[in-house]
Amino acid sequence: MRYFLRKIGFFVGTLWAVVTLNFLIPRLQPGDPAELMVRRLQGKDSQLDAAQVEAMRSMLGAPDGSLWTQYWAYLADLLRGDFGVSYTYYPFSVAEVIGQAIWWTVGLVLVTQVISFVVGIVLGAYAAWRRNSKLDTVITLGSTFLGTLQPFWIALVLLYVFGYTLGWFPTSGGYSASIPGLNMFFVEEVLSHSTLPAVALLIVTPIGWILGMRNTMIMNLGEDYIRLAKAKGLPDRTVALRYAARNALLPSVTGFALALGSVLGGTILVETVFDYPGLGRLMGEAVQNKDYPLLQTLMLLTTTGVLIANLVADLLYGVLDPRARRAEG
Amino acid sequence: MTTTPNDFMAEGDPGQAQSLEQVGGSTTPDRWWQVVWSSKKARVGLVVLALYVLMAVFAPLIAPHDPLDGGFTPLLQPSGEHWLGTNTNGRDIASQLIYGSRVSLLVGLFGGALATAIALVVGMVSGYTEGTIVDDVLSFVTNVALVIPALPLIITLVAYSDTRGVWLIVGIIALTSWAGAARSKRAQIITLRNRDFVTSAKFSGEGSARIIFSEIMPNMSSLVVAGFVGAATGAVGAEAGLAVLGLGDTRSVSWGTMLYQADAQGAIQQGLLTWIFAPGLALAILITAMSLINFGVDLLSNPHLRED
């Protein structure tokens, strides 16, 4: 029980640190971002109501009021789900803009991550079992080389070859002519638009799993219980899959969540290249337009997502492996 | 390298006082550069990296044109005058590529060094004071920094500043990428801090700072070097990623800014292949070279790997 409480405590502490960091970053800047933003918005459209100005001030730092009162106002806004108004998509609120984009990214990341995980585990386990075989060399060297490529560059190459030269896939966006909804036509369009971004991510993301799984599995293969299993005359398949691979899976469970952070970085860049309508493209736009309310909410949201994934993985790990509970309990 | 199986046995030479790093030869232990050089992969990596450094240092001599001179005819095909052609702004792509190595190497060198320095101080102090409140606080900060995804935070920090010099980017990358290394250094120092040489240093009245940094740290130099190479590789990639989003240093040319402009100005649609492919390849080769060097550095920290 102490193990779980500790993990939850760490999650709450980290979340607090992130929220506070998010509050402090704009206030550490010289000048007054809120003032700038209000002025810019008023230049664009003078019909700003007082409530919106006020919300923006509490998000970005108002010149009046102590840091302490600002902090409480900011926390209250967060709890109400009030993240301010997007500058790029004015008059839509940040929450509305993000609500439109989030499912694209969640879908893309989930699908590619699950595929990467499965492919990585299988290839890594196989490479470890047939260590020093030709296939092992191909897998290890191949992943080491592919791992040095930048996801956004892979995306550009794919876009050029399969999008423009061969014309197999659409080159930008998430759908083109259809109206979003649950009809076959729309689903088909989403799939064809998502293929290239997914492939760009899939070239890089399994590598961590392959190498990690291979290492833990090789370590496990040296253990006594494997020798015993072999001595008992169990078939190779059983020893490899049900004895060695099963135990080697454990560290990968926590790795899955930690890797989400770096996957997110790749996704942001890949989405920008393909103009994919997810959070990554939104972040790119927020950067271009200095849309600080949008940018900060995206930062908060993506970070919180990764933190939650980590918490889930930690809790799951505690359930799966009693040693973890005992060691830290 | 001339090694015999015997070289790996430290106990073959009980008379000589050997530090942890130098579990090496029976007469003179291999120096660290000999160990790194003994790896074929690391040798290839070092040679490639040396070529990049030469290219960066002598960029004004090698590059045929000023990388920011937009006075050429735009969209020229590769020729003797313009090796890789010109881009839509009438700038020479080959010269941009050559000058671009400067930013990547600078960010890699200083970003990696700064991240390593932060990791060292935090990791060493936290490990040495294990179990005290100092360690609890530092460990918490490290774990927080470890789980917060780096790129969104870096993007947010950089987006707020109007002048985006190389040094700002170096600083922010370092501040967001030290945590993993700090954790492994903390683990390492915990195994070292109860050794006899530390105890004797304590009894001879040395201060904690001196014990940590001049008694214990030299024993971790391979971990530090490996950490530096890893951090530098990460910094090169992070700079490129930022620049691709349009957050690069606007006054200098980097491979990332080249890719950003190429993407923004439709290089793919117009078939300007060199503009897109050259910077990406240059980056990939540099990062490959640095990863290869790490294979050699791994031999330092793990002598068991030296056997092949």
Residue of A nearest to B247 (CA): A287
How far apart CA B101 and CA B256 sit, in angstroms, is 10
pLDDT for res B20: 46
Query: Nearest CB to A306: which of B149, B247, B269?
Result: B149
A vs B: CB pairs below 8 A: 123
Domain that holds residue A313: 102-156+202-328
Distance from CA of B255 to the nearest CA of A (A): 11
Q: Which of residues 265-284 of B touch A (CB under 8 A)?
A: 268-269, 271, 273, 276-277, 280, 283-284
How far apart CA B259 and CA B241 sit, in angstroms, is 10
Q: CB–CB of A265 and B149 under 8 A?
A: yes
Phi first, then psi: what are they for A93, rounded to 5°? -80, 160
In a domain, A9, yes or no: no
Angle separating helix axes B93-106 and B273-301, nearest 10 degrees: 30
In a domain, A266, yes or no: yes
How far apart CA A264 and CA B151 sit, in angstroms, is 8
In a domain, A249, yes or no: yes
In a domain, A174, yes or no: no
Give chain A positions within 8 Å (CB) of B157. 25
- Is some CB atom of chain A closer than 8 A to the CB atom of B159? yes
Distance from CA of B160 to the nearest CA of A (A): 7
User: ipTM, 2 decimals?
Assistant: 0.79
Q: What is the pLDDT of residues A285-312, one digit of tens each?
A: 888 887 888 888 898 988 898 888 888 8
Q: Which of residues 118-147 of B touch A (CB under 8 A)?
A: 140, 143-144, 146-147
How far apart CA B63 and CA B58 sit, in angstroms, is 8
Place of tokens 């992943």: A143
pLDDT exceeds 70 at position B41: yes
pLDDT exceeds 50 at position A329: no
CATH of the domain at A251: 1.10.3720
In total, how many domains does chain A have?
A: 1
Distance from CA of A287 to the nearest CA of B (A): 6
How far apart CA A38 and CA A193 sit, in angstroms, is 37
Give chain B positions within 8 Å (CB) of A307. 147-148
How far apart CA A221 and CA A133 sit, in angstroms, is 16
Torsional class of B290: left (φ above 0), alpha (ψ -120 to 50), beta (otherwise): alpha
Residue of A nearest to B282 (CA): A149
pLDDT for res A47: 55
Dihedral angle at the C-alpha atoms of A149, A151, A155, A156, nearest 10 degrees?
Answer: -60
How far apart CA A271 and CA A200 sit, in angstroms, is 10
How far apart CA A32 and CA A70 sit, in angstroms, is 14
In a domain, A280, yes or no: yes
In a domain, A175, yes or no: no
Pick the range with the lowest mean pLDDT from A26-35, A200-209, B224-233.
A26-35
Q: Where are the beta strands (DSSP E) in B235-299?
A: none
pLDDT exceeds 50 at position A203: yes
Give the global pTM.
0.80
Q: Average pLDDT, stretch B204-227? A: 85
pLDDT for res B6: 40
What tokens does A266 get?
């790749």
pLDDT band at B11 (very low <50, low <70, confident <90, very high): very low
User: A159 near B276, Cβ under 8 Å?
Assistant: no
Q: What is the pLDDT of residues A72-107, one digit of tens each?
A: 888 888 888 888 777 778 778 888 888 888 888 888
pLDDT exceeds 60 at position B13: no
Distances (CA, A) of B108 to A126, A198, B82: 35, 29, 28
Q: CB–CB of A262 and B263 under 8 A?
A: no
In a domain, A292, yes or no: yes
The amino acid at residue A275 is: D
Sign for the CA dihedral angle at B161, B162, B168, B174 comes to positive
Query: Nearest CB to B241: which of A152, A258, A295?
Result: A152
How far apart CA B176 and CA B149 sit, in angstroms, is 9
Q: Which of residues 139-158 of A touch B (CB under 8 A)?
A: 144-145, 147-150, 152-153, 156-157
User: A296 near A18, Cβ under 8 Å?
Assistant: no
pLDDT for res B123: 92
* Percent of chain A residues past pLDDT 70, beyond the cut: 85
In a domain, A19, yes or no: no
